C-alpha cells in the first residue's frame, strides 16, 4: 500500500487502544507517508511522546499553548499542512467535545482549523458506545463529513464484550488509502438497495418482525457509493448509521417498502433486494392494544407483496435485479428455484440455520446466475460487500442495459 508523500496528522486521545496507534504510525511510515503526531493530555497517560517521536521521526505536538510553536502559529500551520487527520483512538470524551465545536486542546483546535478530511476510529466501552448521546454525536459528525472507521466488536480491555473496540491498524490504513485512491469507476450508475427487516403491526404496541440487522445491505450501499455510484438505500427499522453519500429512505412495513421499491426500481440500473421482508402481515390490525383474555389468541395472516419478484417481472424499465435468499436447509436448491421463479439476474444465498448471519459481523455467500455460480468465502460483511459489488458489476456488464448505463 503506497501513501508516498501524503501528509497525515495522527491524533491520539486517552484510551487503552492508544497502544495500537503505534503500529498504525509504523504502517504509515512503511507506506511512505509523512506523519506528525498530536497527543491530548489524557493520551500521555497511555503512550509516551518519546516512543511516538521515535516511530514517527518527528517531535510530538502536545500543547495548544506551546510558546515556541505559537511563535509561528503552530496549530494553524499544522492544520494547513495536513492532507488528512486521523484520530485513533477517538474517545467518547473527544467525540463529544468535537461534535459541539469545542477547541480546548491542540487536537480539537486542529480539527476546527483544518479544511482537510478528518477520520475517527472510535474506541470505548461497549455501553458508552451504545449510549444514545454517543450515537447522536457520531451521527452529527458524519453529517458534517467526518469519516468513521469502525469500531469493531469483541472482547474489551475492561472485560466486556461488544461494539467499541478500535479498528485494527491495517483497517485504518486501508480506509485512508481508499480515500486517497478510491476507484470512481461506477459514476453515473444508479443503484437501489433494500435492507433490514420489516415490522408488521398487530396493534399499536406489538408487531411481527425478524432478526435481520441490515448490516449486509448497508455494507453493500457503502461499497457501491465508494465507487461513485448513486445509491438509494430503502431501509427497514435498524440501528445503523447511514453510509456516506447514500440517499436513505426509511420505511417500517413490507407494504411501505414495496411501494418505495417499485417506485425506485424503474429509476435505477441495478436493484438489490437485501431486506428480510416479512412474508405475511396481520389481516386486521387492532386499533387499540389487544387485551390478554384467553389462554390462546389467533391471528389471521395474509400474504405480503413479493418485492423482488415484482421488480424481476417488470415489463418496462426493468433493472438488473439481484435477490437474497436466507435459508436454513437445501440452500442451493431453494436459491436456484427463486432465481428462476422470480425472474432474477442473480441471487445471493446464505445459510441462516442456528441463527447464523443475522446480527453477525461476518457472512459468506453462494452466488447463482443463469449459467453460473460462485462461492464468496466467510469474511467481514464490509469486505464481502466489496467482493459482491465486483461480481454484480461483472454480470451486469454482460447485459445490454450496461451499454446505456454509463
User: DSSP alpha helices (H): ranges in 12-168?
Assistant: 18-30, 49-56, 67-70, 74-81, 92-99, 106-113, 126-130, 132-143
Domain that holds residue 239: 190-405
Whether the predicted pLDDT of 80 surpasses 70 = yes
**Same structural domain, 289 and 174:** no
Q: What integer pLDDT is reported at residue 403 of this predicted model?
A: 46
- Which listed residue (54, 73, 158, 161) is catalytic? 158
Say yes or no: 218 and 121 in one domain: no
The residue from 155, 180, 205 where one domain ends is 180
Q: Has 289 been labeled as part of a binding site?
A: yes
Phi, psi of 148 (to 5 degrees): -95, 140
Same domain, residue pair 270 and 347: yes
- Is residue 169 domain-shared with residue 222, that is, in the same domain? no
How much is the pLDDT for 247? Answer: 95
**367 and 331 in one domain?**
yes
CATH number at residue 156: 3.40.50.1950
51 located within any domain: yes
| 345 among annotated binding-site residues | no
The answer, yes or no, to whether residue 154 has pLDDT greater than 90, is no
SS3 of residue 375 by DSSP: strand
Give the model's pLDDT for residue 69: 53
**324 carries a ligand binding annotation:** yes
pLDDT bin (cut points 50, 70, 90) of residue 357 is low
* Residue 172 in domain: yes
348 a catalytic residue: no
Asked if 195 contacts 234 with a C-beta cutoff of 8 angstroms, the reply is: yes
DSSP assignment of 315-354 equals SSSPPEEEEEEEESSSHHHHHHHHHHHTT-SEEEEEE-GG
CATH of the domain at 260: 3.40.50.10300
Is the same domain home to 172 and 231? no
Residue 158 and residue 266 in one domain: no
Q: How many other CB atoms sit within 10 Å of the CB of residue 364?
A: 15
**Same domain, yes or no: 141 and 108:** yes
Q: Which pLDDT value is given to residue 160?
A: 79
**Judgement on whether residues 174 and 198 belong to the same structural domain of the protein:** no
Beta bridge partner(s), residue 147: 119
- In angstroms, the Cα distances linking 330 to 184, 305, 338 are 38, 24, 12
Annotated binding-site residue? 338: yes
**Can you give the pLDDT at residue 30?**
92
Does 162 map to a domain? yes
* Contact status, residue 145 vs residue 99, Cβ threshold 8 Å: no
Residue 65 confidence (pLDDT) above 80: no
Summarize pLDDT for 205-235 with one digit per residue, the tens. 999 999 899 999 999 999 999 899 999 999 9
Residues written for the chain: 406
What band does 71 get if pLDDT is binned at 50, 70 and 90? very low
Q: At what angle do helices 49-56 and 18-30 cross, to 10 degrees?
A: 20
Do both 119 and 212 map to the same domain?
Answer: no
Residue 95 labeled ligand binder:
no
Are 78 and 123 members of one domain?
Answer: yes
Choose between 272 and 294: higher pLDDT: 272
Of residues 188, 250, 265, 187, the one with CA closest to residue 218: 250
Residue 375 forms part of a structural domain: yes
98 belongs to an annotated ligand binding site: no
Lowest mean pLDDT among 47-51, 130-134, 303-307, 361-365: 361-365
How many independent structural domains does the chain possess? 2
164 and 194: one domain? Answer: no
Query: DSSP letters along 279-293, please?
Result: SEEESS--SSPPPP-
Residue 161 belongs to some domain of the structure: yes
Amino acid at each position: 500500500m503506497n501513501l508516498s508523500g501524503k501528509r497525515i496528522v495522527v491524533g491520539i486521545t486517552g484510551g487503552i487502544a492508544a497502544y495500537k496507534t503505534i503500529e498504525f504510525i509504523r504502517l504509515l511510515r512503511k507506506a511512505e507517508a509523512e506523519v506528525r503526531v498530536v497527543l491530548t493530555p489524557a493520551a500521555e497517560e497511555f503512550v509516551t511522546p518519546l516512543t511516538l517521536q521515535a516511530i514517527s521521526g518527528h517531535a510530538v505536538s502536545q500543547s495548544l499553548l506551546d510558546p515556541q510553536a505559537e511563535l509561528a502559529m503552530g496549530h494553524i500551520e499544522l492544520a494547513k499542512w495536513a492532507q488528512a487527520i486521523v484520530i485513533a483512538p477517538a474517545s467518547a470524551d473527544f467525540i463529544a467535545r468535537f461534535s459541539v465545536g469545542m477547541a480546548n486542546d491542540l487536537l480539537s483546535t486542529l480539527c476546527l482549523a483544518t479544511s482537510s478530511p478528518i477520520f475517527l476510529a472510535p474506541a470505548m466501552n461497549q455501553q458508552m458506545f451504545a449510549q444514545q448521546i454517543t450515537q447522536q454525536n457520531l451521527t452529527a459528525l458524519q453529517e458534517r463529513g467526518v469519516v468513521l472507521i469502525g469500531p469493531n466488536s469483541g472482547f474489551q480491555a475492561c472485560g466486556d464484550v461488544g461494539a467499541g473496540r478500535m479498528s485494527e491498524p491495517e483497517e485504518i490504513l486501508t480506509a485512508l488509502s481508499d480515500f486517497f485512491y478510491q476507484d470512481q469507476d461506477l459514476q453515473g450508475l444508479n443503484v437501489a438497495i433494500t435492507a433490514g427487516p420489516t415490522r408488521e403491526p398487530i396493534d399499536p404496541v406489538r408487531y411481527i418482525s425478524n432478526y435481520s440487522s441490515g448490516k449486509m445491505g448497508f455494507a453493500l450501499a457503502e461499497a457501491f457509493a465508494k465507487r461513485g455510484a448513486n445509491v438509494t438505500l430503502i431501509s427497514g427499522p435498524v440501528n445503523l448509521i447511514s453510509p456516506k453519500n447514500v440517499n436513505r429512505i426509511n420505511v417500517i412495513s413490507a407494504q411501505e417498502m414495496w411501494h418505495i421499491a417499485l417506485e425506485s426500481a424503474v429509476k435505477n440500473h441495478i436493484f438489490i433486494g437485501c431486506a428480510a421482508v416479512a412474508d405475511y402481515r396481520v389481516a386486521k390490525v387492532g386499533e387499540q392494544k389487544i387485551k390478554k383474555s384467553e389462554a390462546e389468541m389467533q391471528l389471521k395472516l395474509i400474504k405480503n407483496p413479493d418485492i423482488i419478484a415484482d421488480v424481476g417481472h417488470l415489463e418496462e424499465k426493468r433493472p438488473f435485479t439481484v435477490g437474497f435468499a436466507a435459508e436454513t436447509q437445501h440452500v442451493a436448491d431453494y436459491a436456484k428455484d427463486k432465481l428462476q421463479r422470480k425472474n432474477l439476474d442473480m441471487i445471493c444465498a446464505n445459510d441462516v440455520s442456528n441463527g447464523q448471519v443475522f446480527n453477525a459481523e461476518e457472512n459468506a455467500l453462494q452466488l447463482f446466475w443463469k449459467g453460473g455460480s460462485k462461492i464468496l468465502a466467510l469474511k467481514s460483511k464490509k469486505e464481502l460487500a466489496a467482493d459482491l459489488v465486483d461480481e454484480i458489476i461483472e454480470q451486469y456488464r454482460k447485459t445490454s442495459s450496461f451499454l446505456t448505463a454509463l
